[in-house]
Structure 1
Amino acid sequence: MASSIPRPPLHPDLAEVHSQLPQNDNISTPEQIVTRRKFLDFSLEQTLQGREHLISHEEKDFQGPAGTLKASILRPKQVNKSLLEKPGYKPPGILHMHGGGHMSGSRFVGIEGVLDWVEEFGAIIVSAEYRLAPEHPQPAQLEDSYAALLWMNEHAQELGFSRDHLIVCGSSAGGNLAAGVVLLARDRAGPKIRGQLLMYPWLDDSNETHSMLQFGDIVPWTRSNSIDACNYALGVNREHATMYTVPSRAKDLSGLPPTWIDVGDADVFRDEDVVYASALWKAGVSTELHVWPGCWHGFDVFVPNAPISNRAKLARSDWVRSLIFA
């Protein structure tokens, strides 16, 4: 049922694809969770399609807090000579956390959006698995992701990137984990993070913001999905909710690295993302915020070649470039 709250229209670049998305994509039963997991079971072949001659892939195991986890390392097969000629250039390392509501997805989900940086900046991308809810509620996803950060930093030389250019990124639930990992790194005196890039991140657990009510019926991520995912990952009584698993609960955001946040104005996470950006500014953290008109959750993944999606990807690349060549 559509919301009765007035709302801006969906972007015309995205309208046709959005109209074709499944309108009943619930995750309220075990069977529906299985269906969602199958839907987001992306493969390496899908990820690298058309880029096999430019990007290499290597799979590595690393030790998580509860056992062995897998990571994919994506590197340029040949670094652009123009990069190597730039004064002070150091190859960046980018830790990517996948989305999927903490209860689905794999290390290949959402990574297409950052593969351009392998070619453009000579970046080394590490995308790691983590345990999924509801079988493993938080902080399982967070601690697995932090273990990936520690492993990546420890093996920087072997992987081929500069520790001075370690960037953390993620979209949706991956953005939640990226924000939580950066807070953990600050408070545990962990690896130095050059910047955090949060794409339409899930940062709050109230599910009562204006945008959540305004666009709560808009697939592919509805208010009902968000309530279920919060219950799975954080517990019905929020027994697993902390400032690290729900970054909006953090009272002190000082000392965090430069931050990028972007989100669509038709995304249920819009208002919590804007509030988080404002809190970062108040804490003195350099933060760039973009709100894309008429864009729904995951718009650039579902319609990657739309002009508005290209604008978003170009803006993110410009921000990453500013970090690398600062």
Structure 2
Amino acid sequence: MTPTRPDLDPELRTLLAELPLSSELNPELLAQIRQLPSTPVDTLPDGRPIDRFEVTAAASDGTRIPLSVLSPAQTARSGVAPCVYWIHGGGMVMGDRYSQIDIPLEWLDRFGAVVVSVDHRRAPEATGTTPVDDCYHGLLWTVEHATALGIDPARVIVAGISAGGGLAAGVTLMARDRGTPAIVAQMLICPMLDHRNDTTSSRQYSGEPGVWTREMNAFGWRSVLGDLTGGDVPGYVSPAVAADLSGLPTTYIDAGTAEVFRDEDVDYATRLWAAGVQAELHVWAGGFHGFDALYPHTRVSAAARRTRNNWLTRVLSAVPAARTPERTAS
């Protein structure tokens, strides 16, 4: 028997009915999905005055991790900029550094932010702490090259959506424990935080087709955990099991009422407050998983994006911008 669950937002329900949905994910379907083309790079600027270049950073095992750096065009820059370090979604098994990139590009437009998007290795080929470690070393590279990139190292925000939101939370925990780099805030958009996959909302969205179901979530977690089980799962991989959330930067979390991750996201915000961390939580009525990434122009999606923008405005205004450093000739 399917448990009762919150209704979808009417506007979203109409649009969702047009999508070909599934209830499960398996290796064969994953292989097919990975064959689909990613977001065309040439369409990303969409008329914006943007400079873009591609680099690689070394992971802890020496593997080169691709990073895309997108910043306001040289003629549009004014001083050093805040940085949004972006981690894409895809259930730990799909996606690339251009997935959902329109979200941080809005912050490039609004705040003049430099956006750095990381292409971490994906499960099941990469398991355990490898994906979060890739993301952490990409962030280290970004901060180490802050001057060359025109980034203010005091205004670095780590942000991600879905699996990327979970990785963003893991990176922020890792940075706290290792003492570097400094992160002024983390933005976790419908984050994938808990490998146990056993909340009420997880059980509500099981057994029927959806954007991301409990069965899909189980596949994603099995893929990334590999041989890790039970108490062996570190908080960097599954932030919901991290014992200590104190000392983390100010945090924004959002989710929909009609999605698997609702309850684990609410619980993470509650634990942040209990640990003395400033956190803002929004749960959007009738939102399914990733609703505003799929349909950004609906009323509830516009409200979700506007609320994030307002939060970022407050966070950035609270940190004085650094002066433009003098650059010496090479």
Q: TM-score, length-normalised on structure 2?
A: 0.91
Residue 101 of structure 1 is matched in structure 2 by 91
Relative to structure 1, the CA distance from residue 300 to residue 38 in structure 2 (aligned partners, 3 Å threshold; closer, same or farther) is farther
CA deviation map 1:192-225 (0-9, x unaligned): 1000000000000111100011123352111110
Relative to structure 1, the CA distance from residue 245 to residue 34 in structure 2 (aligned partners, 3 Å threshold; closer, same or farther) is same
CA deviation map 1:223-281 (0-9, x unaligned): 11000111000126527621110001111100000000000000100000000000000
Q: Structure 2 CA distance, aligned partners of 1:185 and 1:37?
A: 31
Residue 275 of structure 2 is matched in structure 1 by 283
Residue 302 of structure 1 is matched in structure 2 by 294
Q: CA deviation at 1:312?
A: 0.6
Residue 245 of structure 2 is matched in structure 1 by 253
* Paired amino acid for 1:33: L
Percent of residue pairs identical: 38
What does 1:37-186 align with in structure 2 at a 5 Å threshold? 37-39=34-36, 41-48=38-45, 50-51=46-47, 53-66=48-61, 67-77=63-73, 91-186=81-176
- Structure 1 residue runs of 4 or more that deviate by more than 3 Å after TM superposition: 78-81
Q: Structure 2 CA distance, aligned partners of 1:37 and 1:25?
A: 18
Q: Structure 1 CA distance, aligned partners of 2:237 and 2:39?
A: 25
Q: CA deviation at 1:38?
A: 2.9
Aligned partner of residue 110 in structure 2, secondary structure: helix
> Please, which of 307, 311, 315 is the counterpart of residue 307 of structure 2?
315
Checking the alignment, whether the CA contact within 8 Å between 1:220 and 1:297 is kept in structure 2 is yes
Residue 5 of structure 1 is matched in structure 2 by 3
Q: CA deviation at 1:10?
A: 0.3
Checking the alignment, whether the CA contact within 8 Å between 1:90 and 1:324 is kept in structure 2 is no
CA deviation map 1:84-131 (0-9, x unaligned): 5xxxx8520111011111111100011111211111101000001111
Residue 223 of structure 1 is matched in structure 2 by 214
Q: TM-score, length-normalised on structure 1?
A: 0.92
Relative to structure 1, the CA distance from residue 79 to residue 312 in structure 2 (aligned partners, 3 Å threshold; closer, same or farther) is farther
Q: CA deviation at 1:26?
A: 3.5
Q: Structure 2 CA distance, aligned partners of 1:76 and 1:38?
A: 32
* Paired amino acid for 2:116: V
Q: CA deviation at 1:39?
A: 3.8
Do structure 1's residue 265 and structure 2's residue 257 form an aligned pair?
Answer: yes
* Paired amino acid for 1:19: A
More displaced 10-residue stretch of structure 1: 15-24 or 296-305? 15-24
Q: Structure 2 CA distance, aligned partners of 1:175 and 1:290?
A: 15
CA deviation map 1:155-184 (0-9, x unaligned): 001111100001000000000100000000
More displaced 10-residue stretch of structure 1: 111-120 or 194-203? 111-120
Checking the alignment, whether the CA contact within 8 Å between 1:79 and 1:119 is kept in structure 2 is no
Checking the alignment, whether the CA contact within 8 Å between 1:90 and 1:165 is kept in structure 2 is no
Checking the alignment, whether the CA contact within 8 Å between 2:189 and 2:254 is kept in structure 1 is yes
Please, which runs of 5 or more residues in structure 1 have no aligned partner? none
> Please, which of 199, 203, 210 is the counterpart of residue 193 of structure 2?
203
Aligned partner of residue 197 in structure 1, secondary structure: strand
CA root-mean-square deviation: 1.8
Q: Structure 2 CA distance, aligned partners of 1:170 and 1:237?
A: 24
Checking the alignment, whether the CA contact within 8 Å between 2:81 and 2:112 is kept in structure 1 is yes
Checking the alignment, whether the CA contact within 8 Å between 2:22 and 2:211 is kept in structure 1 is no
Residue 204 of structure 2 is matched in structure 1 by 214
Please, which runs of 5 or more residues in structure 2 have no aligned partner? 319-330
